[in-house]
Amino acid sequence: MAKQVKQLDRVIIRFAGDSGDGMQLTGDRFTHETAAFGNDLSTLPNFPAEIRAPAGTLPGVSSFQLHFADHDILTPGDAPDVLVAMNPAALRANTKDLAAGATIIVDTHDFTARNLTRAGYTANPLEDGSLDKFSLHSVDLTALTVEAIKDFGLTRKDAGRTKNMFALGLLSWLYGRPVESTEAYLTKRFASKPDIRDANLAAFRAGWNFGETTEGFAVSYEVKPAPMRAGTYRNITGNLALSYGLVAASVRSRLPLFLGAYPITPASDILHELSKHKRFGVVTFQAEDEIAGIGAALGASFGGSLGVTTTSGPGIALKSETIGLAVSLELPLIVVDVQRGGPSTGLPTKTEQSDLLQAMFGRNGEAPVAIVAPQSPGDCFDAAVEAARIAVTYRTPVMLLSDGYLANGSEPWQLPDLDTLPTIDPCFATAANHETEVGDREFWPYKRDPETLARPWAIPGTPDLEHRVGGLEKADGHGNISYDPTNHDLMVRTRQAKIDRIADSIGPLEVDDPSGQARLLVLGWGSTYGPIGAACRRLRRHGLDVAQAHLRHLNPFPSNLGEVLRRYDRVVVPEMNLGQLGLLLRAKYLVDVIGYNQVRGLPFTATELEAVFTTTIEELHR
Amino acid sequence: MTTNLPTPGLRDVPTAETPMTRKDFASDQEVRWCPGCGDYIILAAVQGFLPTLGLRKENIVFVSGIGCSSRFPYYLETYGMHSIHGRAPAIATGLATARPDLSVWVVTGDGDALSIGGNHLIHALRRNVNLTILLFNNRIYGLTKGQYSPTSEPGKITKSTPMGSVDRPFNPVSLALGAEATFVARTLDSDRAHLTEVLQAAASHRGTSLVEIYQNCPIFNDGAFDVLKDKEQAEARLVRLEHGKPVRIGEREWIHDAHADDPSRAFEISRLDDGTMAHVPIGIFRQVERPTYDDQVRSQLTAAASTQGEGDLDALIAGSDTWTVSHAPS
Ligand SMILES: Cc1ncc(C[n+]2csc(CCOP(=O)(O)OP(=O)(O)O)c2C)c(N)n1
Ligand code: SF4
Ligand SMILES: [Mg+2]
């Protein structure tokens, strides 16, 4: 008898297992199937801090959460509807995040006394009734997998390894996912090892068939495709989108891309990705340290490349002096900070937004730089292009503040029409730009464009424009060393004014205030866009008025920001730090913004923000 | 039309159409070292030597760190960058990798190269990026007014070591050889002919050339190298190295082989100076061919473009898993 199919509008699934269980791959494949099916989706991988923590322990648990829906969604979801737990530790680490009624699918294979103890259980949770409020499916996935692939002659260990594909097959059946992309993937991935390939394919199909035939699963679910704007889509993570944005900016500006970087989580994937694109003329230099990474990028910029350095917070600390040099040299430079939990080594695999003030002020002297932040994984592409536009146009270092959540999270992304990307014109100097009193033509490296205040970029190899630049203060115009007090005052103010001028090119901050009646404005930046947006939608569904605005540019701010802030009775600023944007807004606009701050290493949930915004509105109406 | 020089280090650098003179390489900036500073003589030697390379001066770049010596680029009418303390080798690495058509020079001091910038120096040497590093060794921190440096002799009394330094110094040549350098030489500020000869060889070398230049700082470490300049003593103390020529110290004599693949012999020679300056080798210790970092990076770019074709941005961005939404379902 055909099983019943139930309609759902959205589902949140979390795959959890030991770091060796392949949960990231499982989640990734399910994501691809879901993308191919046409749901809107958002993902959140959660890696253990250690590469190989002892098997079966809580620190070794790796998980991947996926939210998919028949409508436009903004976050990876709060509480999972379904938890797939591959061992006792994975169950224990994740049960607390589930709401009553959630489904748990457990691989019972590892529920031995020893493993239970290792995970910190004193009794077997599958038997002691502690999971009664959930819908529990206890299945020996490992044994079923080993049985299903016994003809392929794999060792027991290798056979056990394919249990993640069995689980994927089961979940794919449960939610009616198209299987072609996973089959194609496995075929390609293990092309050189036919027995492993066939075993994985068999495990995947066995999982599907198990769902279809077992009585344990009486219903399957359908989540219809989401309406999306017409176009071609792919699924993309933030680090990948950011890498592509940099390549696009290089192609667009015709400047060869030069990346100088030192490996650090969660930024390394940008180095890995860009190192694959040599056919685009992209040079990736794995330096001896962060200082050399940015130094080489700046050297390449001096030579006419699009110089980029990628790192996380600790690396920015090391790069500070060179960023200051770039401010003084007034050369284009993109500094990518994929923020993670701090201070010091902090929480390398967790997300945070606590480098904003470091980006803003973390240098000696008055050393302003432009700051740009992406708001979603796909948006990392546009943010990277925008960083390049500003860097090249204004001859300045630009900080691009991504974070661990954006870096590894993914979402469907509509492929951009590359012709509509902004023009990025290096506009190299080719001739003298100054006439002396006696009529000689000279090149003055610090004679500025009156509109942008940018200085000319004359690269070595250009005849007659030989000049020297350096970190010592330069005289306005001709750029020779100057210790003159009034000149220094002028140069400090001019460098600041140049950064402020960028605001002329960025357009006003747009506020989403559908009813026009809101008294509360929620202002965010960076990766909080998703949860803030989701919370605002919930409020509006409950008939509450709330306005939302999100900053792409953190330095300079859009020119209408002060006016926007003053338009509302209350401004709430949620941040994954202790109030860094809040501090800047209060200092600059004298507006009493209210922070909502947490630093748990995880993104906000829409639920908690909904509560915060609702309470604030209630207070306003009291 | 430009023709290129036969010297491997400058192979891709365009040459000047008309011969140039020393004056063409002097910038309009007033030179501001202390009177009698060894840096003046080195500057004069470099300004005199650069025209002989026959390169277009717009294709020459001097990158320096911080220190008295690092003021050097301001006085040359080429492109130049006076960067930050110790980082010039890293900056020059990016520049030289991005631009094969440039002759890239680093000017650094003993503090700049061996203290704060030690890491960048050794990594530039092992990578063998095509650049020439001039290490002005005055065995003191000049710019910060006279603290001991990583090349100061043990027991040295300076402002920061009133009872004498208890640090053991580096021998920059030994350090470079240990860091897999392909070209290592030493010369003296006062010996213009020798300095020029060494610079010529260093510039011609494809890869990172390290030239240690003993430089007198008359203000904070005057006379550090006097025994090597004194007519009476110099010839007994200086051990002149020339590839293929005999070297003699007392009873010992051997034929100098700078091209030996194994750096052990060069290292041994670098240890001849035990700190007393009784025997100080000068000249080229080592000069061997090894593929350069920057050439190999560029050839990977060329290879990728020729095997996979030039990059197609649309194809890159789309990847292999796309889906199309033709119209929004209502
Ligand atoms: C980050 C940093 N630390 C310290 C200094 C101060 N400083 C400038 S030059 C110098 C030492 C210079 O010695 P050396 O490299 O031997 O050059 P010299 O002046 O002797 O030519 C120091 C410590 C600085 N400019 N920057
Ligand atoms: S302090 Fe010494 S090294 Fe510096 S300029 Fe004066 S003499 Fe030369
Ligand atoms: Mg010195």
* A435-470 pLDDT tens trace: 999 999 999 999 999 999 999 999 999 999 999 999
For residue B120, which residues of chain A lie inside 8 Å, CB to CB? 288, 291-292, 295
pLDDT of residue B257: 98
Per cent of chain B over pLDDT 90 is 94
pLDDT of residue B4: 43
pTM for the predicted model, two decimal places: 0.94
pLDDT of residue A216: 87
Is A311 strand, coil or helix? Answer: strand
A295/B93 touch (CB, cutoff 8 Å), yes or no: yes
Give the Å distances, CA to CA, from A427 to A55, A178, A389, A420, A457.
56, 49, 12, 20, 8
* A221-261 pLDDT tens trace: 999 999 989 999 999 999 999 999 999 999 999 999 999 99
For residues B175 and B156, the answer to whether their CB atoms sit within 8 Å is no
Residue A565 has pLDDT above 50, yes or no: yes
- A146-160, A279-293, B200-214: the lowest-pLDDT one: A146-160
Q: CB under 8 Å to A363, separation ≥6 — which residues?
A: A320, A321, A323, A324, A327
pLDDT of residue B330: 45
Residue A328 has pLDDT above 80, yes or no: yes
DSSP string, A134-198: SEEEEE-HHHHHHHHTGGG---HHHHHHTHHHHHHHHHHHHTT---HHHHHHHHHHTTT-HHHHH
Least CB-CB distance to A295: which of B58, B91, B301? B91
Q: Among residues B60, B76, B215, which one has the least CA distance to residue B134? A: B215
Altogether, the residues listed in chain B come to a count of 330
For chain A, positions 462-491, list CB contacts with chain B under 8 A.
Answer: 462-472, 480-481
* B249-308 pLDDT tens trace: 989 999 999 999 999 999 999 999 999 999 999 999 999 999 999 999 999 999 999 999
Ligand minimally distant from the alpha carbon of residue B65 = 1
pLDDT of residue B328: 53
Q: Does A275 touch chain B (CB under 8 A)?
A: no
Give the Å distances, CA to CA, from B84 to A149, A295, B217.
62, 9, 21
For chain B, positions 219-238, list CB contacts with chain A under 8 A.
Answer: none
Amino acid identity of residue A30, one-letter, is F
List alpha helices for A355-436, DSSP H.
Answer: 356-361, 379-394, 404-408
Give the Å distances, CA to CA, from A541 to A80, A271, A375, A610.
22, 43, 23, 11
* A195-213 pLDDT tens trace: 999 999 999 999 999 999 9
pLDDT of residue A439: 94
For residues A221 and A271, the answer to whether their CB atoms sit within 8 Å is no
**Cα A155 from Cα A111, distance rounded (Å):** 22
Tell me which residues of chain B have a pLDDT lower than 50: 1-5, 329-330
Determine the residue of chain B that is closest to A305 in CA distance.
B98
Determine the residue of chain B that is closest to A471 in CA distance.
B83
Average pLDDT rounded to a whole number, residues A530-534? 96
Q: How close A388 comes to chain B (CA, Å)? A: 17
For residues A209 and A60, the answer to whether their CB atoms sit within 8 Å is no
| DSSP secondary structure letter of residue B252 | E
**Cα B39 from Cα A173, distance rounded (Å):** 78
Q: CB under 8 Å to B312, separation ≥6 — which residues?
A: none
Residue A55 has pLDDT above 90, yes or no: no
Mean pLDDT taken over chain A: 96
B57, B79, B307, B324: which to substitute to probe chain A, counting the most A Cβ within 10 Å? B79
DSSP string, B81-118: EE--TT-HHHHHHHHHHH-TTSEEEEEEEHHIIIIITH
pLDDT of residue B327: 63
CA dihedral A318, A321, A324, A325 (to 10 degrees): -120
Q: How close B148 comes to chain A (CA, Å)? A: 24
Structure tokens at B6: 């036969």
Give the Å distances, CA to CA, from A428 to A92, A459, A460.
60, 7, 11
pLDDT of residue A3: 80
Structure tokens at B300: 């990977």
Residue nearest to atom 23 of ligand 1 (CA): B144
Q: A339: part of which helix (H) or strand (E)?
A: strand A333-339
Q: Does A617 touch chain B (CB under 8 A)?
A: no
Per cent of chain A over pLDDT 90 is 94
Q: Does B329 touch chain A (CB under 8 A)?
A: yes
CA of A373 to the centre of ligand 3 (A): 43
C-alpha triplet A206, A210, A214: angle, nearest 5°: 165
For chain B, positions 128-187, list CB contacts with chain A under 8 A.
Answer: none
